[in-house]
Amino acid sequence: MGMDWHLELKTALKALAGAVVTDAWVNEMALYGPEDAGHFTDPSLNFVQANVLELRTLDGGTIHISCVQDNDTWAIWPHVVSTDKQLSSDVGEGTFRTRPMPEFPRGSVSCFQMAPDDVSSIQEIRMTIDKREVILRAGEVYEKTDGTLSVCDRDESVLVLLDGEAYSQLKFNEPIYSPLDR
C-alpha cells in the first residue's frame, strides 16, 4: 500500500472524527444460506455484514467503509467518495442487497477510536454517535457444509455492530451453533 492509500485513509479518518452523520446505507452480504436466498438476519448474530457501509454527513460528504487486503489479512478502509458514487437501493437477490440503514444512529460522532492505532492495518473502529456505541470490525461469517456458522476475524467484510453488549458476546473463529439449533 502506497502513500496515496495512506493519504486517502487519513483524509477519511479526519472526516469521520467529528462528523455529523445524517444518513447511512449498506451494501450487505447475507450471513448464511443458499446463494439464491440468503439470510441477512439471525437472532444469534447481532450485526450487519457489509461489503460497504456508507455514511452521509451534514457537510455533504460521503464516506465509504469497506475492507482492503493487507498481505494475509484484511483491514478496514474508510475512504471519502464523491456524491455520484453514493449507494442506491436495489431489490437484492440472493447473497447481496443494498438498502438504507435506518437502524444506524444519526448525529455527531463524539468519540472515535481505532485499533490498532497503526492506520495501515485497522481492524476495528469504535464511534459514539448520538450517545450510541457503534463498532466496525473486519470479519466475516462462514457457513460450513454441515451448516455450522463461525465469525472469522480479520476477513473481507465490515461487521457493523450497533450495540457494545452484542460485541462483547461475539466469539471469533469458533463455531457459533449447529444447524440443529436453528
Domain boundaries, given as residue ranges, for the chain: 3-181
**Residues contacting 56, CB < 8 A, separation 6+:** 21, 22, 23, 24, 25, 62, 86
What stretches in the chain show pLDDT beneath 70? 1-3, 5, 91-92, 117-120, 177-182
Closest CA to 150 of 181, 120, 171: 171
pLDDT of residue 2: 44
pTM, full prediction: 0.91
What's the pLDDT score for residue 70?
72
Q: CA triplet 107, 162, 56: central angle to 5 degrees?
A: 40
